[in-house]
A and B are shown apart, each in its own frame.
Chain A
Amino acid sequence: MSINWFKYSSPASFYSLAGKITPIFAFAAVILLVAGLYIGFFVAPTDFQQGEAYRIIFIHVPAAWMSMFLYVVMAFWAGIGLAFNTRLSSMFATAIAPTGAMFTFIALWTGALWGKPMWGTWWVWDARLTSELILLFLYIGFMSLQAAIDDPRRADKAGAIIALVGVVNIPIIYFSVQWWNTLHQGASVSVNQAPSMATTMLVGMLVMVFASWMYSIAVILKRTRVIILERESHTAWVAELQKKGTVQ
Chain B
Amino acid sequence: MKPRHKKLVIIASAVTALGVASILVLNAFQSNLVFFFSPSQVVAKEAPIGKSFRIGGLVAEGSVQRDDRSTTVRFAVTDTAQTIPVVYTGILPDLFKEGKGVVAQGKISANGIFEADEVLAKHDENYMPPEAAEALEQAAKAQKASLVQ
Contacts and interface: CB of A to CB of B under 8 A. Distances in A.
A147 interface: no
A115 to B, nearest CB: 9
Contact of A79 (B11, B22, B91): B11
Interface in B80-138: 91-96, 100, 103, 118-130, 132-134
A35 to B, nearest CB: 19
A181 B35 contact: yes
B145 interface: no
Contacts of A47: 127-130
Contacts of A172: 22, 26
B51 interface: no
Interface stretch (A23-31, A182-190, A231-239): A182-190
Contacts of A83: 4, 7-8, 11
Q: From A45, A120, A172, A196, name the one whose CB has the most chain B CB atoms within 10 angstroms.
A: A120
A50 interface: yes
B33 A118 contact: no
Interface string A59-84: 00000000000000000000100111
Contacts of A84: 4, 7-8
B35 A185 contact: no
A120 B119 contact: yes
Interface of A is mostly: loop
A6 to B, nearest CB: 14
A144 interface: no
A192 interface: no
A198 interface: yes
A240 interface: no
Contacts of A125: 35
A124 B8 contact: no
Given A118-B123, A124-B35, A167 B15 contact: yes
A201 interface: yes
A54 interface: yes
Interface of A: 45-50, 54, 57, 79, 82-85, 117-121, 124-127, 164-165, 167-168, 172, 179-183, 185-188, 196-198, 201
